[in-house]
Structure 1
Amino acid sequence: MKRIIVLLVLLMTLGQAYSQQVLTLEECRNLAIRNNKELRISGEKIKMADNEKKAALTKYFPQLSAMGAYMWNQKDLNLLDMGALQSAIGSSLGELAHLPIVDKVVGGVNDLQHLDIQNVWVGSVSLVQPVFMGGKIVSYNQIAQYARQLALSMNDLQLQETIYKTDETYWQVISLVNKKKLADAYVQLLRKMDSDVTAMITEGVATEADGLSVKVKLNEAEMAQTKVENGLALSRMLLAQICGLPLEQALILADENIEDFPVTVPDASADVNEAFMNRFELKSLDLAKKIYQKKERIVLSEMLPSVALSANYFVTNPNLHNGFKNEFSGMFNVGVMVKVPLSGWWEGTYKRNSARAETHIKALELENAREKVELQVNQSVYKVNEAGKKLIASSRNMEKADENLRHANYGFEEGVIPALNLMEAQTAWVSARSELIDAQIDVKLTKVYLDKALGKLSSNE
């Protein structure tokens, strides 16, 4: 019986351990990267760009096509009006028109001028080799190359956004876990104090007002505890959704049991040029500008002559080359095709001006984005340094709050400090502890913000 109970306990422990998965920050990043739908979409866009690039390359090679057609006609074709011909022969020959030889000649002429086109078959094979298309094919291939680079850049941008969102949510969960511990401890402390003050009221060494003050503080602390619990539950769900895990799965993070994070006080500085080189938003806008420049070239190519070589083989039935006989006959031909636009210059000029305006818009967007990136980098540096100063100040406040609470507890136990003063010391300690937790998390998050501003976020960090 004891063995069965031990086995059941082990199974329950293993089941609970399996259901509560412990994840590090790196594991959360990898799960988010693997399961992120936006990253999958950008991956498919890269495949699309690869295929479009290959499709554009085929425009350099000859284009081969085949065509076939069949037509059934109700009537045949007569080249001559035989009734008018017979009348003309009769009026010219008179009585001789009824001679057998004349009838045979007329019959022979009728057979020759009668064309059997009831069943018509047509087929052709054509080959066209572009020689000069005004630079259109070259521009299309360059655009396809830029489009592939743009798809890769957007994929990298989405990767950094996914890592950034994962890190931000991860440290928010850690922050709320520590605040929940703080709220639980504070509620437990106030409950003990409520019990002590109730006993003191019974003994006549405390007033009812003291008891009511403690109960009000206890209610406030329990409400704050509930808010923290709800916020933590929602943050865990958000992290599970980012990682592609079921929302109801209990996530336990590796850094939850750390009381004081081993953070160093940062002194940040950043090179804006590094951000200019790394930021994929700038790379994407630069590629977009190049694409619009090539579109200008395509518009110009519509205004230039185009030259192509052609080779064709035609086959028909009836035979077009020998009296429309009911037989198949074919022939080859080769040639040069030249197309010169004559009346499209005005329209082409306006289209080219429109394309130039689009290119100018992209150039201005790129310049504007560079200015915003520079501002974002400087703001991130300031936030990192500000977070470091806040951490130093919070650590000092925590030391003072610890000392103040120690004196308040000693004075309350000795009966020289009222309950109200002790609660004020406890509230100040909780506030200082909460600010210290925020300061430690801010140091982590501002580092993430700075790495994102510099374009340095990666799954290997």
Structure 2
Amino acid sequence: MKKLSIIFLFTSLVLGGQAQQILSLEQCRRLALENNKQLKVSLMTADVAANVHQVAKTKYLPRVDALAGYQHFTKEISLLNNEQKKSLSNLGTNSFSQINNQVGQNLTNLVQQGVISAATAQQIGQAIGGISGPITQALNNFGETVRDAFRTNTKNVYVGSVLVTQPIYMGGAIKTANDIAAIGEEIAQNDIELKRQNVLFAVDNAYWLIVSLKKKEVLANKFRDLMQKLDDDVHKMIREGVATRADGLKVDVAVNTADLQISRLQNGVSLAKMALCELCGIVPDGNVRLADEEVDEFAIVYDASSMQPDCALSSRPEIRMIRNTIEISRLNTRLIRSLYMPHIALTGGYVVSNPNMFNGFEQKFAGVWNVGIVVQVPIWTWGENKYKIRAAKAATSIAEMELADVRGKIGLEIEQNRFRLNDANKQLSTANKNMVAAEENLRCANVGFKEGVMTVTEVMAAQTAWQAAKTAIIDAEIAVRTAQVGLRKAFGRVGE
């Protein structure tokens, strides 16, 4: 039981500390920028763009590739045809067959001419026949050896190589790709700034909405207190017989209406605070307090008279992003042209294979160094480059028209927010004057009611007029604040 009490006390202290959390506008902005998921996505996108730019820079450097492979063939490459192989295999047989035929013919001619006798010719023939067998076999074996020497043994081939490629001239494609990647980084940074300003704009509006509702809640409480005091006075007068029951019912209805208004404002404040917490990336809590909730008057002036629409053209991230798009479109046109220009690259490397062809078809690994130059020249593409260039130029024209359109809209946005700010300042000035009159009117009504020369209805009307005048001041103050935020947003300077 004692442990449970300690835990309950600790939880109460923590919850009490959370309930007393006070956030200023700057704290809300900082929390929103730290926790906004879309902004984090943009930051990661910027990191991607930076890495893409680094990739583009590597295209200037030599590229080194390694290749290794194995291939099995069902047949091997043959340098000899089948007839040549057969002739080599029977080299001795074929050779001595022709020799024996020629010798026999010659001996017959000699016998017929009487140069030698038939017996001598027979002896010579037997002698040649005795040595032809071994020589024939030796020549056949020699032919087989020559045939085997011409075998390539290319059924199983192993190949490996290292290739170095250095671009020399790519038609300007590498430089153009680097320029595009650099602009891609700028687009990513501009997108971060755009998201940042959108987040700050949303936070500022949510913050001042809460301040407005909270001040109206405080005003509603004061109005309810006035009504309750009037209700107590009227009921005393009813008991003394100087006021009617109808007067009491009128005041009761006004008190109940004031209570209902307070309840609605409290709910609105809680919901608005939850929405602000969501923007700030913290746990939604309707009990957080804002630093400006208790501030009676604000520093209003935001001088934008010296700022012209041209200033916004350099400050607005949307304008910078469209300009980046235009530049990328122009670079794309240049990139397309470069693809149809001659490309020159220097190559070099080392190739190794087994079997190798540097000492016959030797069954071991051997390699060779090589160096060369590669030139690629597009000759005929059926007008592909012309159509692509036309499309790229059209994209550039579209981006330029979008830029002109956005410029006009930004100029209109600036003038609208200037008008809103001037109008809000005028409303605030008028509301302050009306408040002076409403307070005097309420004072006179209260004095008259005490002296019996003013009715309950007149006092209620004076109190309602006082509340309306005070509400008009709150609305005008918040309108000035939101107009300031809108004007900063129009100039691309939210958060300054």
TM-score (norm 2): 0.84
Of 408, 433, 442, which aligns to 2:470?
433
Determine helix, strand or coil for the equivalent of 1:115: coil
Query: What pairs with 1:56-455 in structure 2 (closer than 5 Å)?
Result: 56-82=56-82, 85-86=85-86, 94=97, 99-248=136-285, 250-263=287-300, 268=305, 270-344=307-381, 346-455=383-492
Q: Distance in 1 between matches of 2:396 and 2:223?
A: 62
How far the C-alpha of 1:138 sits from its partner, in A, is 0.8
Provide the C-alpha distance between the structure 2 equivalents of 1:271 and 1:309, rounded to a whole number of angstroms: 55
Say if 1:436 and 1:251 are closer, same or farther in 2 by CA, change over 3 A: same
Aligned-partner Cα distance in 2 for 1:70–1:255: 77
Q: Deviations over 1:21-57 (max 9, x none)?
A: 2222222222222222222222212211211111111
Q: State the alpha-carbon separation in 2 of the partners of residues 130 and 83 from structure 1.
A: 50
Match of 1:34 in 2: 34
From the superposition, tell whether residues 64 and 85 of structure 1 become closer, same or farther in structure 2 (CA, over 3 Å).
closer
Once residues 422 and 339 of structure 2 are traced to their aligned partners in structure 1, the CA distance between those partners, rounded to angstroms, is 57
Shift of 1:13: 6.7
**Is contact 2:271–2:286 with CA below 8 Å preserved after alignment?**
no
1:210-264 Cα distance to aligned partner (Å, 9 max, x none): 2332233233322222221111111111222222221137322222212233445
- State the secondary structure of the residue aligned to 1:330: strand
Per-residue deviation, 1:149: 1.4
- Cα deviation for residue 108 of structure 1 reads 1.2
CA distance in 2, matches of 1:117, 1:124: 18
Give the CA deviation at 1:9. Answer: 9.7
Question: What is the letter of the counterpart of residue 194 of structure 1?
Answer: D
Bigger CA drift: 110-119 or 359-368?
Answer: 110-119
Instruction: For 2:461, give the aligned amino acid.
Output: E
Q: RMSD value over aligned CA atoms? A: 2.7
CA distance in 2, matches of 1:169, 1:70: 68
Distance 1:338 1:77 in 2: 32
- Is the 2:273–2:286 contact (alpha carbons within 8 Å) kept by the matching residues of 1? no
- Which structure has the greater CA radius of gyration? 2
SS at match of 2:187: helix
SS at match of 2:383: helix
* Cα contact 1:132–1:307 (8 A) shared by 2: yes
What letter corresponds to residue 43 of structure 2 in structure 1?
G
Sequence identity (%) = 36
Taking a change above 3 Å as real, the CA distance of residues 269 and 398 of structure 1, as seen in their structure-2 partners, is farther
* DSSP-derived class of the 1:248 partner: coil
Pick which of 42-51 and 244-253 moved more: 244-253
The number of residues matched between the two structures is 453
Indicate conservation of the 8 Å contact 2:270/2:286, yes or no. no
Give distance in 2, aligned partners of 1:133 and 1:346. 20
Distance 1:115 1:9 in 2: 92
Q: Aligned residue for 2:113?
A: none
SS of 2:345's equivalent in the other structure is strand
The letter for the 2-side match of 1:68 is: A
Does structure 1 retain, via aligned residues, the 8 Å contact 2:166–2:346? yes
Does structure 2 retain, via aligned residues, the 8 Å contact 1:266–1:384? no
Gaps of 5+ in 2: 1-7, 101-131
SS at match of 1:259: coil
Per the alignment, do residues 56 and 14 of structure 1 end up closer, same or farther by CA in structure 2, a change over 3 Å counting? closer
Decide whether aligned partners of structure 1 residues 81 and 230 sit closer, same or farther in structure 2, where only a CA change above 3 A counts.
Answer: same
Q: What is the alpha-carbon distance in structure 1 between the residues aligned to residue 494 and residue 290 of structure 2? A: 21
Provide the TM-score with structure 1 as the length reference.
Answer: 0.90
1:304·1:340 contact (CA, 8 Å) conserved in 2?
yes
Shift of 1:382: 1.2
